[in-house]
Amino acid sequence: MKVVHPDKWVPCDGIMLEEAANTAVHCSNEHVLVIAGPGAGKTELLAQKAAFLFQTDRCREPQKILAISFKTDAAQNLRERVEQRCGKDIRGRFVSMTYDAFAKSILDHFLYALPDELRPAPDYLVDDSETIDIAFRTIGYHNPEGLSPSKLKAKYDVLLSKVSLPLTEAAVGHRVWPLLLKGFNGNKATLTFKMIMMLAMRIVRTNPYIKRALQITYSYVFLDEFQDTTGMQYAFIKECFWGSDTKITAVGDNKQRIMVWAGAVKTIFRDLDEDLKPQCVRLIMNHRSAPRLVELQKAMYSSLNESVTDVRVSDKWNVSDGEITLMIADDERDEATAIAEDIFSKISKGVEPKDICILCKQTPQNYTPTIIAELAKYGVRARIETEYQDLIKEPVIDMLIKFMVCTNNRKRPKEWSFVEETLAELWRINGTQSYDAYDEMQSRLVALANDIKQKIRQGFDEKEWHTIVKTMVEFCGVENIKAKFPGYKQGNYLGNLLNKFEGLFFSEYMETNSDWDLAIENFCGKHSIPIMTIHKSKGLEYSAVYFIGLEDSAFWNFRNRSEEERCAFFVAISRAKEAITFTFCKQRTGTKYPIQQHKVINEFFELLQMPGVAEVKNISSATI
């Protein structure tokens, strides 16, 4: 990689950065806090900053950049962007992972730095609910409050995370920890993610050489979605890097803080400012949304306790661009008819189904079955993404899909190259070895691809499909996969993933009448409209968004968490690029209370009904 002077460095791939973003990218000698609203291009900013640091030698080999995200797919997306901009020269030097993965990597690497009484068994499971429940019952804790299973699990998590290390007290959590650390009564050792982070923090706090090694290794740390950082995560990062030469770049937006229920710290921006005195940079561009949609977002600033800033939109828009609609339907059948008709109209005008999204505040399975059925009448697929979204982002599934793409069509250089490089890593074939090892790997890979292609042409049943998946996984090497992705070492996690993948893909294969390529495309969601919750939509964008159920029952906790619920609504409206439609049903049979109201969340209706904001449509069987 050619090193350039900072004054001569230009953004990669012809990207034009706004002035504030350019400032944040070039800031290499101090900490930076970037306030980036929706559509500001924060992922691109971090990718360009990594490129700047590597290409100007500000991050000198062998030093690395650590990027921490909240979701695995976000971490992977950022890593891919950086490698695309910097090439293979920096592979291994840009480490992009989640908080949980970073904590686990420290615990697994430095397990024996813990004293015996705090050292978990090396083959510990992660977050095994059944084992955790048994452990609590073993010490005599039998759900004294009569909580539901989900609330009881949350209670366990709280009790375990409030433990102080070392274990010297007699409280419930302190008595359960030893059981979970070592295993008990035939049950394997099991740790929650918070327990893992607590142990990792203990390792760093009590071993100055390990702490110093981390600080020397990572000269820069990026913190994405900073507004959602929990108290434990912030304490963990502080323990690792505060007081060192490592420079922090935090990127976030208070208006999108929707994880307070999970422990996100409301004062996190102020805390960082007090701790590190970073240079604060505010991005003013919204590259995503049309002008009318941006104005809707800005109209919410006061209710989110944010000062109105001069948000600018892309030059590609006309000032009047953007569609905002409020549909008020008599019931969900009228709602579904109107929504399906509107979606089909957009598809007929050239919008791809994957560029349309249906959002729900929660439980989309209660709000969208009628819409899914109505869309099917138009030949339009729509599916709830929960299972697929989590599955597709798994590294092992991503690898299998890319290989499957290549088996029937070798003219896919990007996917084929990815498979070759991944396999070389799994088989530990590196540049110091002879070309013979790499050639042999390629020959075996081609032979496997040809064998599977033959099976595709012949067609296969469910049993034969199981054999194909097993063959692909064993070809890569199960232990190799677990070594590269340590998360798969835990219990039956890898096996459960593969079983779920087998079932979902085979269903797609059968529905497409054994069309292999179409089944892959359908599995990846290429031809269907995604349906998801607001939380799952974070970080995504769509040409058109349909928010189903703008009703009190959907925002049932608004009175208790009004600030967070407003942030969730803001996240929903900021996913759309060109059009957003909200629906309200006077009657909805899929919810606890059939008669719907909007008294509690009336501020959202008042916002949409302001002059010039939304087109209000009253939908009933008589008008459709």
pLDDT in tens, 502-537: 999 999 999 999 999 999 999 999 999 999 999 999
Confidence band of 438 (pLDDT split at 50, 70, 90): confident
Kind of pairing between the strands at 279-282 and 125-126 = unpaired
Q: Which residue has the tokens 């798994």?
A: 394
Both structure tokens of 209: 């050489």
Q: Which residues are registered as beta bridge partners of 532?
A: 359
Supply the mean pLDDT for the chain.
92
Report the pLDDT value the prediction gives residue 322, as an integer from 0 to 100.
Answer: 96
Q: What is the pLDDT of residue 258?
A: 81
pLDDT of residue 173: 95
Residue 83 CA to residue 381 CA, distance in Å, equals 34
Identify the pLDDT of residue 215.
Answer: 97
Task: Provide the H-helix boundaries in 61-192.
Answer: 72-86, 99-109, 129-138, 149-161, 172-182
Per-residue confidence (pLDDT) for residue 257, from 0 to 100: 86
Q: Chain-centre distance of CA 286, in angstroms?
A: 21
Q: In the predicted model, is pLDDT for residue 54 greater than 70?
A: yes
Which pLDDT score is estimated for 311? 86
The predicted structure's pLDDT at residue 491: 73
Task: Give the H/E segment covering residue 331.
Answer: strand 323-331
How big, in percent rounded to 5, are the helix, strand and coil portions of the chain? 55, 15, 35
Query: Is it the case that residue 276 has pLDDT exceeding 70?
Result: yes
pLDDT tens, residue by residue, 570-607: 999 999 999 999 999 999 987 777 899 999 999 999 99
The segment with the largest mean pLDDT, out of 83-92, 565-574, 585-594, is 565-574
Per-residue confidence band for 15, with pLDDT thresholds at 50, 70 and 90: confident
Residue whose C-alpha is closest to residue 568's, from 310, 306, 311, 304? 304
- DSSP labels, 173-210: HHHHHHHHHH-BTTBPPEE-HHHHHHHHHHHHHH-HHH
**pLDDT confidence tier of residue 261, bands split at 50, 70 and 90:** confident
CA distance 387 to 384: 8
Question: DSSP letters along 368-433, please?
Answer: SHHHHHHHHHTT-EEEE-HHHHHHHTSHHHHHHHHHHHHHH----HHHHHHHHHHHHHHTT--TTS
Q: Beta strands 356-360 and 542-548: pairing type?
A: parallel
pLDDT above 90: percentage of residues in the chain: 79
Pairwise CA distance, residues 120 & 3, whole Å:
45
pLDDT of residue 408: 85
What's the pLDDT tens digit per position in 116-128? 999 999 989 888 8
Q: Most distant CA pair in the chain: distance in Å?
A: 75
Please check whether residue 198 is in contact with residue 232, taking contact to mean a CB–CB distance below 8 angstroms: yes
Q: Looking at residue 368, what is its pLDDT?
A: 96
How would DSSP label each residue in 24-56? HHH--SS-EEEE--TTS-HHHHHHHHHHHHHHT
The pLDDT value recorded for residue 622 is: 59
DSSP symbol at 114: S
Under the banding of pLDDT at 50, 70 and 90, the label for residue 432 is: low
pLDDT digit string, tens, across residues 599-616? 999 999 999 999 999 999
- Give the type of residue at 607: L
**In this predicted structure, what is the pLDDT of residue 623?**
59
Strand partners of residue 98: 69
Distance CA 73, CA 51 (A): 20
Query: What's the rounded Cα separation, in Å, for the pair 74 and 537?
Result: 12
DSSP string, 529-594: EEEEEHHHHTT--EEEEEEE--STTTTTTTTTSHHHHHHHHHHHHTTEEEEEEEEEEEE-TTSSSS
pLDDT band of residue 367 (cuts 50, 70, 90) is very high
- In this prediction, residues 257-276 reach a mean pLDDT of 90
pLDDT of residue 624: 56
Residue 34's CB is within 10 A of a number of other CB atoms, namely 29
- Chain centroid to Cα 62, Å, comes to 29
How many whole angstroms separate alpha carbon 407 and alpha carbon 59? Answer: 40
Mean pLDDT over 49-66 rounds to 95
Question: How sure is the predictor about 308, in pLDDT bands with cuts at 50, 70 and 90?
Answer: low
Q: What is the pLDDT of residues 326-336, one digit of tens each?
A: 999 999 999 99
Among 129-133, 409-413, 430-434, the minimum mean pLDDT is found in: 430-434
